[in-house]
Amino acid sequence: MTPTSSGCVLVTVTGKDHPGITARLTGLLAEAGAELLDVEQVVVQGRLTLCLLVRLPDARGIPSALLFAARELGVDLDFQAVESPDASAPAKSAPARYVVTAVGRALGARELHALSSHLAGQGANLERIVRLTHTHLGSVELHVTLSDSVEPEALKRSLLALSMRDNTFDVALQRESLFRRSKRMVVMDMDSTLIRIEVIDELARAHGVGEQVSRITERAMHGEMDYDESLRQRVALLAGLDVAVLHQLAANLPLTEGAQTLVRVLRRLGYRTAVISGGFSVAAEALKARLGIDHAFSNVLEEEGGKLTGRTVGPIVNALRKAELLEQLAKEEGILLEQVIAVGDGANDLLMLERAGLGIAFRAKPRLREAADTSISAGGLDAILYLLGLTGRELEEAG
């Protein structure tokens, strides 16, 4: 090793991990009066990689002492002379830092190659990879920096296109900031998000008007009528349905994969949770009680003599109302909008997702996926926990 004039050396330590390696080597550096400028350590499958950037007052003798200690510790050392930053040089603006989270059933070499090569092609510099899942390689965080020439929104869209094309893993791009790991509230749609069904479709089938309701839904999806009118017409077809059918359905709602885990962990971590749904209150309140959700807002079906009247009571929970309720709830809870996550699957969730600090399209149509901050299609709702930066070990502790 030939030190530079600055005396800066990058010491790389590799080998089988065991207690005392870092303590022994840093102790030798301290005794020699070396200045520690940077440090990074990682253990993968019991194998240690430790990097120490040091400025040596006098290089003579120190490498030999470190090598001798390394032999006793059973590890290998590599020395590389490097230039230290010029403290007198004008400060450069730091590149924007982002976190790319990949979540799938299993992430292999093919998936990581596709993702890392895509990032490289887009001009993103990959600095660090962190495994999040514990028992298998199902989620990783890739910490990247973006130069001024890289537009984050364009990168987000390209990553979405990659995940839609691959269809085996989801990818989220988030700015590395104070708010990424300090979310405090999660707001969710109900039908086809928190549960696997559309309640109105099930009620319509039970009442023998399934085809009529489906036709109205189809017209609304094609923009031939607005959401409020479509809801009024569909609910009108439910007139005369025994309320017991609604309550029986609400008592046996099929939860979406990962829903129970998501809410349980969020509660343990002190998050506030809410359902804001264009569905019906009987179902939303049943879910609130079943999962321990803090708040539920939805449409109220009018009842008379044990039957549905075919009308709703109060304002319709449409797209605008959902966004307003999210803002109202965040204000009441004293939570910044940047600390709110909103999850939905349909067009009437778009405004709600836009108001939140992180909007997640869950198994949604392409239009909503493209508009949302990120999308989850390959995994369950519990994949959201990895977007918060939580690891598998932390989830086990919280569960």
Residues annotated as part of the active site:
189, 191
Side-chain-facing half-sphere of 6: CA atoms under 13 Å: 16
3-state secondary structure the chain: CCCCCCCEEEEEEEEECCCCHHHHHHHHHHHCCCEEEEEEEEEECCEEEEEEEEECCCCCCHHHHHHHHHHHHCEEEEEEECCCCCCCCCCCCCCEEEEEEEEECCCCHHHHHHHHHHHHHCCEEEEEEEECCCCCCCEEEEEEEECCCCCHHHHHHHHHHHHHHHCCEEEEEEECCCCCCCCCEEEECHHHHHECCCHHHHHHHHCCCHHHHHHHHHHHHCCCCCHHHHHHHHHHCCCCCEHHHHHHHHHCCCECCCHHHHHHHHHHCCCEEEEEEEEEHHHHHHHHHHHCCCEEEEEEEEEECCEEEEEEECCCCCHHHHHHHHHHHHHHHCCCHHHEEEEECCHHHHHHHHHCCEEEEECCCHHHHHHCCEEECCCCHHHHHHHCCCCHHHHHHHC
357: number of CA atoms within 13 Å, CB side?
23
Helix axes 210-221, 199-206, angle to 10 degrees: 150
Quickly tell me which residue has 């920096």 as its tokens.
Answer: 145
